[in-house]
Homo-oligomer: A and B are copies of this chain.
């Protein structure tokens, strides 16, 4: 018989799949002997069964009833009992934390009949009516689907608003009248009375939580966070404790250390005479825990001790929700806490230092996204103007952008390529798309645990919240600073999430301490030391090599400083730009073979010098040179522009520029409707063989020169866009010929490996054949993604990617995170079939995915030899390659 309900005493934290994170952690705290209000959890399995069939699974109702009876027995009260009612909270709790996404109904069990009893036992009639009012409001909107705005209207008639509910304006009598209004609202909207059966309330609330799993907003969140849709949520039912019973009560949120910096010591927010919801919502301003220590030293000490217990037990930063009911501390929730990138590294280093976790575990506590964030530049405050506002530094980093005042505007303007800063009085889950689109979030209300802060930290957005010195007028699309400055929509501001400062205009940026360490080894502080330790450990455990994509000696040198073990992709076309463009033009416009050869001969020494410099910078390490890839017309002017210039000159009566006319003829001749699918890559090399010969000669002569200089050049020649082994065979023959020729001329034996990009589906599908001719495969996952999906990044990203992400076609852009099902399958096929033919085949990836954390893990699992990415992603790739070797997951592990 399947069991659908677990008492808190029967579970533990290992059961999060079944009990959800919240339920599992409540069980764990109960097991540890911490003061947890008693209760039980209905499992995710029950939820899945309910969502699949639309009905409670057999036996669930009986189990709930039995556990409720046990709870009633334990508390000595019956649910909704009229003289002294047991009240319970009903909360969702899934396997993965989904802040703000899930549902809560408090005070279940209150009815017309039990309000007086509650008033009597609490000694506070106003409190009792307020609880009832809250129940109807939460139950009405969450369970019965009544528009919440209707409740807000009714509230405001009483002189209260949900945003600033000065509940004290209404006395018990007024609240009792409000309850009547609310009940009428429920009747009008649903055609039935607010349920007066406590057990019916409970049952409906549990099912509503189940249903909320499939709410549009929750689905969106899961898609963004790559959380599977079929997990379902558990539901915890727990005896209510009240933080709003007067000055000796209150609610708070605490971290076992500072989640922004990782500094040890209890850290958090407290709100006297309030329920927990009020703390998180940011509706009222909280006080620090130091203030709690002053107000209620005993509860504070208990909280501090419990926090220590939890941190040592969980061996990690925990966050805690607690309530003090008339001087008694209750622990309502705990979990491993979200943290900033800084805090993640600092905490990991400290816990390793304390011996609480191993170095391997420490490495799994940080991730590449966090490291990437630490590498972001900071504002150069010397160049900043005066602060126009200051708030809570809630999510670190520095970003500038045009201010916008609502989520749709943020999404729209960001889609147009603009950097925007979303400014809200406070954020709600509805603001999620805007927060994703914005570079930074600025709010007028709320602390470090407010919705804005938690969500922004989770997604790595810069956030300053609770900037009380600004007045946000979303309607008028502006905010006003304390100094009276009016900042209209579109004005650029700079937001420093590490300090809380907001500046007018775009403040210039300087390198972060982490970046300075990576660039020149400077270990400025203990954060940097923590980063260094994590990277060193990653290097020690990883199997994947990390190379860089670099086209200049300068990039190569930087990549090497960042730890690159070679260049996985040196794009030679970049050497055809700038002042050399005219030479390339001559080569393209050449009318005879001789003219073309002359133009190529002029380019040769230039390319040779490029290669010599790069090989010098990467001395002793492999440098994979890709032969020219783009279609030649890419080096000529844009067609429409040129045609318009020539036509305008003609229409104006003058003769058009002769060079323009010549260029236009060439551009028209070479025009391709789909240049990405045109005459490029190895095709060019086969049709215009002189080009390959010149490039190979430049590489070969550079190698010979470096050998003469006493260096250890390790050039590899890579043929792009191969679709068939025959193409590679032809290109390789030409490469080998030129290598032999230069080897003979210089007396330096040139045995550069020759390999190919695997960037077309056909290359992957015939990899066994291609491996006959290739000493290495380098997966060009950008092009491979384009051809496998049949869309070009430039053309489609803006056109429909946001719609695709919204509608769940993608969990992430396939250009950012490798599409494992489609593109990844081709990579697997090619690796397996290539190695079957050539067991020592080198395999790597040189698409942008090489620096994407999740993709790095995939490449590790597939068994590639290396990833190659932009120099700035090299440290991220090193870290993730290490985590992958330890079996870590692709995303962060700390969420």
Task: Looking at the assembled complex, report how far the CB atom of A651 sits from the nearest CB atom of chain B, in whole angstroms.
Answer: 4
Instruction: Give residues 746-779 of A contacting B (CB, 8 Å).
Output: 759-762, 765-766, 769
- Contact A796:B677 (CB < 8 A) given known A650-B648, A652-B652, A803-B686: yes
| A680-706 CB contacts (< 8 Å) to partner B | 683, 686-687
In this assembly, does A791 line the interface, its C-beta being within 8 Å of a C-beta of chain B?
yes
Query: Which one of B726, B787, B795, B803 contacts A807 once the chains associate, using CB atoms below 8 Å?
Result: B726
The answer on a CB contact under 8 Å between B788 and A674 is no
In the complex, are the beta carbons of B761 and A788 less than 8 A apart?
yes
Q: Nearest chain B CB to A224's CB is how many angstroms away? A: 15
- Min CB–CB distance A556 → chain B (angstroms): 29
Q: In whole angstroms, what is the CA distance A765 to B788 when docked?
A: 9
Q: Which of A548-598 contact B (CB under 8 A)?
A: none
Question: With an 8 A cutoff between CB atoms, is A724 at the interface?
Answer: yes
Quick one: given A762-B790, A766-B822, A789-B762, are A795 and B647 in contact (CB under 8 Å)? no
Of A52-60, A481-489, A601-609, A636-644, the one with at least 4 CB within 8 A of chain B: A636-644
Min CB distance A470 to B, Å, is: 36
Question: Taking CB as reference atom, which chain B residue is nearest A723?
Answer: B789
Name the CB-closest residue of B to A791: B677
Interface status of A672 (Cβ within 8 A of chain B): yes
Digitize A773-812: 1 where CB-to-B-CB distance is under 8 Å, 0 elsewhere.
Answer: 0000000000100111111101110011001100111000
A674 pairs with B761, CB closer than 8 A: no
Q: Which of A643, A678, A686, A687 has the most CB of B within 10 A?
A: A678
CA distance A306 to B821 in the complex (A): 65
In angstroms, Cα B227 to Cα A864, docked, is 38
Q: Could you say which of B673, B765, B792, B803 contacts A821, with CB atoms under 8 Å apart?
A: B765
Are the C-beta atoms of B761 and A787 separated by less than 8 Å?
yes
A825 contacts partner chain B, Cβ-Cβ < 8 Å: yes
Q: Cβ of A619 < 8 Å from any Cβ of B?
A: no
CB-based contact A792/B826 at 8 Å: no
Q: Which residues of B contact A644 (CB under 8 A)?
A: 643-644, 647
A675 interfacial by beta-carbon distance below 8 Å: yes
Taking a contact as CB atoms under 8 Å apart, the answer to whether B730 and A809 are in contact is: yes
Contact partners of A765 in chain B: CB under 8 A: 788, 821-822, 825-826
Contacts of A683 in B (CB 8 A): 791, 796, 799-800
Quick check: is A707 within 8 A (CB to CB) of the other chain?
Answer: no
Q: Known: A651-B648, A677-B796. Is A790-B760 also a contact (CB below 8 A)? A: yes
Contact with B along A79-115 (1 / 0, CB 8 A): 0000000000000000000000000000000000000
Chain A at the B interface: mostly helix, strand, loop or mixed? Answer: helix
Chain B CB within 8 A of A721 CB: yes
Residue A247 at the B interface, CB < 8 A?
A: no
A649 beta carbon closer than 8 Å to chain B: yes
* A727 beta carbon closer than 8 Å to chain B: yes
Contact with B along A625-640 (1 / 0, CB 8 A): 0000000000000011
The answer for the CA separation of A202 and B856 in the assembled complex, in Å, is 65
Report yes or no: B809 in contact with A724, Cβ–Cβ below 8 A.
Answer: yes
Bound together, the chains give a CA A855 to CA B275 distance in angstroms of 72
Residue from B679, B769, B804, B808 within 8 A of A799 (CB atoms):
B679
Partner of A795, one of B679, B723, B726: B679
Interchain nearest-CB distance for A274 vs B (Å): 43
- Please give me the residue from chain B that is nearest to A808 by CB atom: B726
Neighbouring B residues of A687 by C-beta, 8 Å: 799-800, 803
Closest partner residue, chain B, to A677 (CB atom):
B792
**Measured CA separation A235–B766 after assembly (Å):** 36
CA of A783 to CA of B761, assembled, Å: 13
- Judge whether A121 is part of the interface by a CB distance below 8 angstroms: no
Q: Which residues of B contact A790 (CB under 8 A)?
A: 676-677, 721, 723, 759-762, 783, 787
> Which of B639, B651, B809 touches A651 (beta carbons < 8 Å)?
B651
A819 on the B face (CB < 8 A): yes
Question: What residues on B are CB-neighbors of A648 within 8 Å?
Answer: 647-648, 650-651
Cβ of B822 and Cβ of A723 under 8 Å apart? Answer: yes
- CB-CB contacts of A708-727 with B at 8 A, as 1s and 0s? 00000000000001011011
Task: Give Cα A787 to B822, complex, Å.
Answer: 13
How many angstroms between the C-alpha atoms of A786 and B792 in the bound complex?
Answer: 13
Minimal Cβ-Cβ distance residue in B for A823: B762
Cβ contacts A648-671/B at 8 Å (1 or 0 each): 111110000000000000000000
Contact residues in B for A792 (Cβ distance below 8 Å)? 672-674, 677-678
Find out whether the CB atom of A786 lies under 8 angstroms from the CB atom of B726.
no
Chain B contacts for A686, CB-based, 8 A? 800, 803-804, 807, 809
Which of B672, B676, B762, B807 is close to A677, meaning CB atoms less than 8 Å apart? B676
Q: Which residues of B contact A730 (CB under 8 A)?
A: 807, 809
Q: Are B678 and A677 in contact (CB under 8 A)?
A: no
Q: Which residue of B lies closest to A647 (CB)?
A: B644
Complex Cα spacing A822 to B799, Å = 30
Query: With contacts A765-B788, A783-B790, A822-B762 known, is A678 near B796, CB below 8 A?
Result: yes
- Alpha-carbon distance between A721 and B783 when the two chains are bound, in angstroms: 18
Cα of A683 to Cα of B761 in the assembled complex, Å: 21
Which residue of B has the minimal Cβ distance to A761? B761
Q: Which chain B residues border A804 with CB–CB below 8 Å?
A: 686
B residues near A647, Cβ cutoff 8 Å: 644, 647-648, 651
Residues in B neighbouring A809, C-beta threshold 8 A: 686, 724, 726-727, 730
Bound-state CA distance A778–B391 (Å) is 59
A643 proximity list for chain B (CB < 8 A): 640, 643-644
Nearest Cβ on chain B to A26's Cβ, whole angstroms = 36
Specify which chain B residues have a CB less than 8 angstroms from the CB of A721 in the assembled complex.
790
By a CB distance below 8 angstroms, the chain B residues around A760 are 788-790
A786 contacts which chain B residues (CB < 8 A)?
677
Q: Please name all residues of chain B whose beta carbon is closer than 8 Å to the beta carbon of A803 when the two chains form the complex.
A: 686-687
In the bound complex, residues from chain B placing their C-beta under 8 Å from that of A823 are 762
0/1 interface trace, chain A 840-880, chain B, CB 8 Å (1 if under): 00000000000000000000000000000000000000000
Q: How far is the CB of A580 from chain B (nearest CB, A)?
A: 24
Report the bound CA distance from A783 to B759 in whole Å: 17
Taking each of A650, A791, A823, which has the highest tally of chain B beta carbons within 10 Å of its own beta carbon? A791
Task: For residue A31, give the distance in angstroms from its CB to the closest CB of chain B.
Answer: 42
Q: Shortest beta-carbon distance, A91 to chain B, in Å? A: 31
Q: What's the least CB distance linking A420 to chain B, in Å? A: 21
Query: Whole-angstrom distance between the alpha carbons of A416 and B676 in the complex?
Result: 23
Q: Is the CB of B766 within 8 A of A678?
A: no
CA distance A727 to B790 in the complex (A): 14
Q: How far is the CA of A791 from the CA of B724 in the complex (A)?
A: 13
From B726, B759, B769, B821, give the contact of A766 (CB < 8 A). B821
Contact B651 A799 (CB under 8 A): no
Complex-state Cα separation, A769 to B640, whole angstroms: 43
Closest B residue to A730 using CB positions:
B807
Q: How far, in angstroms, from A769 to B823 measured CA to CA in the complex?
A: 15
CA distance in complex: A416, B652 (Å): 34
Q: How far is the CA of A480 from the CA of B792 in the complex (A)?
A: 56
Are the CB atoms of A675 and B795 closer together than 8 Å?
yes
Across-interface contacts of A678 in B (CB, < 8 A): 791-792, 795-796, 799
Query: Which residues does chain B contribute within 8 Å of A676, judged by CB atoms?
Result: 673-674, 677, 790
Complex A-B: 6 CB contacts under 8 Å:
A674-B676, A674-B677, A676-B677, A686-B807, A724-B822, A783-B790
Q: What 7 A-B pairs come out closest when comparing CB atoms?
A: A651-B651, A762-B822, A677-B792, A761-B761, A648-B651, A678-B795, A644-B647
Given contacts A640-B640, A783-B790, 17 further A-B contacts (CB under 8 A): A640-B643, A648-B648, A651-B652, A674-B675, A677-B796, A678-B792, A678-B796, A679-B800, A683-B791, A686-B809, A687-B800, A724-B822, A727-B809, A730-B809, A761-B788, A765-B788, A787-B788
